[in-house]
Amino acid sequence: MDLKSQIGALAKLQELDSEIYALGNEKAAKPAEIKAIEAAFELKKTGLAELEKNSLEVQKARKEKELELATNAEGIKKLNGQLFSLKTNKEFQAMQQQIADAKADASVIEEKILLSYEESDKIKAQIEAENLKLKEEERNSLAQKGVVESRIKEINDRLSQLEAQRKQILPGIEPKLLQEYERILHSRGGLAMAKVKDNSCGGCHMLVPPQVINLIRMYEKVITCEVCNRILYIQE
């Protein structure tokens, strides 16, 4: 195989590999993108969790008040029972006062229970609104994930195409040269073939002396850049 055609094949291979490298990098970043979308959605659930916690606390406090009211009612009933067994008018009046006080306490508790029901209704409405909002957020989140996932599929499809094209080029390159190309490709961030343009290396932009350009044109051996070690070639 003559070197000129092999260098030409390598330049074509490089075109494919550059795209393969770029797509590989893009694909590698996708799981983190999906995780970020999921994390953002999880964060949006904290508002609802907080409301649900509040709702339980309000209910618990109300149960306590209701118990308190029941105890109070029992106390009043007991005092009422005792009322007519009292001997003096003074005792009677004192107990009537006690009953009146207990009833006043009861109405304060009742008022608090009423307010607590209003509070519960308010929280319930907030929870419903938050649930609706979250459903919308979930749809958005799933749509965003769908975009990323379909891009991953697109990348995979394109990578299979590129691999197939790659296989067609490989027979035109001697195994030893191909091995050298791949070694440089992996150590030089996906760019092994540097096109010489305006007397400089397309990989590192350093000047390529005229005598080196002459050597490249002779196609007697593979010429690499002295600075970045990439294989130099000239687009004829």
In the list 7, 58, 212, 225, the residue contacting Zn ion (rule: CB under 5 A) is 225
**Interface with Zn ion: number of residues (CB under 5 A):** 6
Contact 233, 11 (CB under 8 A): yes
- Cβ proximity to Zn ion: between 106 and 228 the closer is 228
Per-residue contact flags (x/-) with Zn ion for residues 112 to 151, judged by CB under 5 A? ----------------------------------------
CB of 194 to Zn ion, least distance (A): 5
DSSP 198-211: TTEETTT--B--HH
**Is residue 191 part of the contact set for Zn ion (CB under 5 A)?**
no
Q: Which helix (H) or strand (E) holds 9?
A: helix 3-28
In the list 51, 62, 184, 203, the residue contacting Zn ion (rule: CB under 5 A) is 203
- Chain centroid to CA 123: how far? 29
- Between CA 24 and CA 33, with CA 27 as vertex, the angle to 5 degrees is 150
- Cβ proximity to Zn ion: between 95 and 204 the closer is 204
In the list 162, 215, 228, 234, the residue contacting Zn ion (rule: CB under 5 A) is 228
CB of 228 to Zn ion, least distance (A): 3
Q: Which amino acid is at 24?
A: G
In the list 204, 213, 215, 222, the residue contacting Zn ion (rule: CB under 5 A) is 204
Question: Comparing C-alpha atoms, which of 122, 28, 109, 43 is closest to residue 75?
Answer: 109
CB of 226 to Zn ion, least distance (A): 8
Token code pair at residue 194: 């540097």
Contact 225, 194 (CB under 8 A): yes
Interface residues toward Zn ion, by CB under 5 A: 201, 203-204, 225, 227-228
